[in-house]
Structure 1
Amino acid sequence: MKKVEAVIRHYKLEDVKDALTKAGIQGMTVSEIRGFGRQRGHKEQYRGTEYTVDFLPKLKLEVVVADDILSKAVETIMTTARTGQIGDGKIFVTDLEDVIRIRTGESGAEAI
């Protein structure tokens, strides 16, 4: 099992959610986050004073998938969230040792 974490733009959430659902991937967690990468924020003006906004608003999408559909999940997120502009985000994939469904006590792939 793998955990896929994707940092994406706010306005891409519905597109990514719909694409993952269409691909047969169900269940996800979404968090509002702030951060920066190579983009290093941007400059804005307020009442004539210029200042730098370092931390940009993004969304973090988390999905747990079986090993055999990992590439499908990553490809779906990548193609749907891509705009071609700096700041499209990142995808992180990590191994999961175990998953346990609290309600039934099921573990492993059955708990996904």
Structure 2
Amino acid sequence: MLMLAHCWFAGSEFSEDTFIAKVKMEIVVCKEQVEPVIDKIIEKARTGEIGDGKIFLIPVADVVRVRTGERGVHAERMIGGLSDKLPPVITIS
């Protein structure tokens, strides 16, 4: 845990009360879900104030299921699992 009272960086003074609390979320979706997920995050997170956040889009080269060693498309989804039985739903609150 980092605790500070005052800190100087690049000629500017910062203190605990000037920092904005942040949360990091990592979400991996297929290409078809990218835009709907972005739209939903913006809809729920935008306040118009500094600190609303940023969305970084990074391509995923591959996926490996640790349990089975499966790679690629076979590792992306759990065949026969709940995700196969339900329609895709995006819920962020």
Q: Provide structure 2 residue ranges, at least 5 long, that are not aligned to the other structure.
A: 1-12, 77-93
Deviant stretches of 4+, over 6 Å: none
For residues 63 and 73 of structure 1, the distance between their equivalents in structure 2, rounded to whole angstroms, comes to: 9
1:75 aligned partner: 39
Alignment of 1:95-106 (within 5 A): 95-106=59-70
RCO higher in structure (CA 8 A, sep ≥6): 1
Is 1:85 equivalent to 2:49 in the alignment?
A: yes
Rounded Cα–Cα distance in structure 2 between residues aligned with 1:65 and 1:110? 15
The number of residue pairs the alignment matches comes to: 63
**TM-score by structure 2 length?**
0.58
The normalised TM-score by structure 1 is 0.49
Identity over the aligned pairs, expressed in percent?
A: 44
Higher strand content, 1 or 2:
1
Whole-angstrom CA distance in 1 between matches of 2:70 and 2:64: 6
Deviation at 1:93, TM superposition (A): 0.3
Aligned match of 1:52: 14
